[in-house]
Chain A
């Protein structure tokens, strides 16, 4: 894999990571679901 491709892949991972993270937050907010990490055992 070329360096430019690796870089593009890394950038795409970050992009989609942010996309799905925001989507999760939006859905949780709209449905009144608790955010995942608040459920973790303290």
Chain B
């Protein structure tokens, strides 16, 4: 097969999978055309809720759902970037990429069965403890639930074929066949996630039903509810960042536990790649989150205010602490990485300035607007807001901080990228001046748009964040493009993989812990927005726990879930390294047998 045909076939497969599979998953739309009884949503009484052994039903379902989401995010993300790495290996003909991609898959394989087990547990718990709600959801989504089960089966088949055929389909045209299986796996996986997201987002912003909850539309109308796509995008990006962070921790674990220089070099490279994956997924994530929140406000002002103007607003301060931790850890790892090259020390003097921006941005982000104060404190402060720090509590200041932190994280990455390259193009000095000017003007624009936000009413404040986002993305995209051309064919210096401090590896451990905690926290916020509704404004929750959990209680629950997941991940890491361990034959019979 010629190269052209091969690419053509691969591209054709990509296109057909993208268009056909999601259509299949939503095929129940056709079934939805069949007239359904327009009965209102059920109104469950206390007697309709079962309790097992005095246990809190909500906490049980909460724990299982969150754990399932962690595992699913991980096992859906890994095949996605594994396919990208495999593709890079096939194009560059560098076997190291292929081996690394295979090793990434190996880690996720052990997690896959846990995902299915916890998912099964969640389904049983939901049907047992919330039968009326589940009955209603089944009526709304009908055959789509069966398609979900079918997709799950297809996902398993694709995953096992993809993993076990790795060595059999490693070279030449077979490699393209293997990547096509990977593509199928990813398409099925993404469709699974989109379907599950439709159910979760329907509970927040129901569509295809009237005010009483009576089904008036098709399954597709219920699926395509206002929050579905913002949630799809947010979870897709978050999964990549999360998956990258977890495999990064695995690489750090193997780096620290091995003594051989070549093994440490391999896992250092793997850790670096994982960190880059996490950063790539993370950089656009705040913007996707912003879109989701804007859509929540657009759908229901009340829901938006519950999230950001009420008691839950304080959790966004904790969110800022966790995101700040993630950015500081990812940057710290990149700064340590400058030590891998001899030219890295040229860039080290700039690290302190980047650190100042990161810490400054972090402090602005965690500054609260409304303070919980005693009357004495209000008197001492001279009002409910601090005179100097109060203005830092509102969105324009935080948007400046977040955007600058993202820009400077990209700068940290760019410095490492440049540290082993010497540009040979004649216009290198001018090109560099062009990039520096881009950063200067772009950052000034982020500041200016923030100050504009202070001068305008709320509706314009939200609008002013758009130029900030575009400025950040412009800096990243244009600086990336200019660097690509400036360093194409550059002189390379040696990268001493493995020349990393132990401390840097702990930064890789910080990432998944902070990510897990953050996801659990935001999951609590998202679910709490429904307040006392199972399905917002349509089906009331009449269980004894139909209230928003207190912050303290939620803090305890999400911390326990995070710890449980970390313990499970350590077990998965241990299983993966166990699979690579071979006991030496004490009697030497293996050798004797082989030679006889």
Contacts and interface: CB of A to CB of B under 8 A. Distances in A.
Interface string A1-29: 01011001100110111011001100110
Contacts, number: 66
A9 B438 contact: no
Contact of A33 (B438, B440, B460): B460
B464 interface: yes
Q: Chain A CB within 10 Å — which of B434, B441, B445 has the most?
A: B441
9 contacts: A5-B429, A5-B430, A16-B437, A16-B442, A20-B474, A31-B463, A33-B464, A39-B455, A40-B455
Interface in B418-443: 429-430, 433-434, 436-438, 440-442
A33 to B, nearest CB: 5
Contact of A24 (B433, B460, B467): B467
Secondary structure of the B contact surface, majority rule: helix
A42 to B, nearest CB: 13
A39 B437 contact: no
B460 A4 contact: no
Interface of B: 429-430, 433-434, 436-438, 440-442, 445, 448-449, 452, 455-456, 460, 463-464, 466-467, 470-471, 474
Nearest to A12: B437
Contacts of A31: 463, 466
Given A20-B445, A34-B460, A13 B467 contact: no
Given A16-B441, A16-B442, A5 B433 contact: yes
Contacts of A27: 463, 466-467, 470
B442 A8 contact: no
Given A16-B438, A23-B474, A24-B449, A9 B433 contact: yes
Given A16-B441, A36-B452, A39-B456, A23 B470 contact: yes
Nearest to A18: B441
A31 B456 CA distance: 14
B445 A24 contact: yes
B566 to A, nearest CB: 42
A16 B446 CA distance: 13
A11 to B, nearest CB: 8
